[in-house]
Amino acid sequence: MAGFVPLFGYEADPKGSEKFLASLKTPTLAEAGPALASADKDTFLGHYLLKVNPHWQRGAQAIGSCVGWGWSLSVDVLASCDILLRGDRESFGGRTIEAGTYGFSRVEARGQKSNNGGDGSYGAAAAKAVTRFGTLHYGQSYDGKVFDKPSGTLEKEWGRSGVPDELEPYAAQHKVAEVTLVQNFGDVAKAITNGYPVAVCSNLGFSMTLRDGWLKQMGSWAHCQMILGVRFGDRPGAFVENSWGDCYDGTVDAALPVQFQRSGGWVDADVIDKMLKGDDSYAIAGYTGFEPTQLPNWTDIYL
């Protein structure tokens, strides 16, 4: 951990968030899924991501682009759950390009031509980005252009000038259908146990030392992360995945896949309630994925 410097990039915009929520037919989870109930069963959606993308590793943001990272991973987890839990006949099209989600959220989703005001974004802008402009993916050929790995330089460029116009039609083919505000741990439990990840924007910080996989709330982070697990029993909580690589010291939760053991941690339910008070965190559902190249193209590996 020597020399580790945390990078943030969440800039709350209450007016922008309020305007976006007013545009939604069902802005809250209670309205979007009135019959949705928590299974009250420990759930970790990272298992599904690793089944469709077994070589996945959490990278580390290079600029203040955490909103792009938290939301892009949420899309990837949703795609894996659509395939494996909901039986969608589609292929996993590759990891979502963080620069695309970030750029859309800073420029196009705000109706701007450019955005030169430093780094950072907010949750509602990213929600608008993935639902109305779509997503781009590593490894796909966009008229001969292929992106193979995260790039802070690209994030900086697209965060200033937006996603190039020639790439927008490709992104539009792969949108998230629905986003809905989550406001407490109960909402998170309903979403996660039904296979819907949560992108969370918050000003709460945490210790960088895990205690058997748990994080202690400490200080302040203007940060976007994502939630992909819940647990109940004697210590209910949610698993919050960061965007700083394997950033945590301490003792891990050995029951988790190794790829997640030091890139995120469990957070107590009452702290999750505090994280969600900013009304800028969303569950996502209904991803439009990639046509399968087989029927579907991952079954020969996993079934």
Mean pLDDT, residues 110-115: 97
Would you place residue 5 in the very low, low, confident or very high pLDDT band (cuts 50, 70, 90)?
confident
Would you place residue 89 in the very low, low, confident or very high pLDDT band (cuts 50, 70, 90)?
confident
Predicted pLDDT at 96: 98
Residue 301 has pLDDT above 80, yes or no: no
Q: How far is CA 65 from the centre of its chain?
A: 12
Average pLDDT score over the chain: 94
**pLDDT tens digit string along 28-43?**
999 999 999 999 999 9
Mean pLDDT, residues 101-129: 97
Model pTM score: 0.95
Separation in Å, CA 293 to CA 69, 91, 96, 297? 28, 7, 19, 6
Would you place residue 295 in the very low, low, confident or very high pLDDT band (cuts 50, 70, 90)?
very low
* Percent of the chain at pLDDT exceeding 90: 92
Residue 300 has pLDDT above 60, yes or no: no
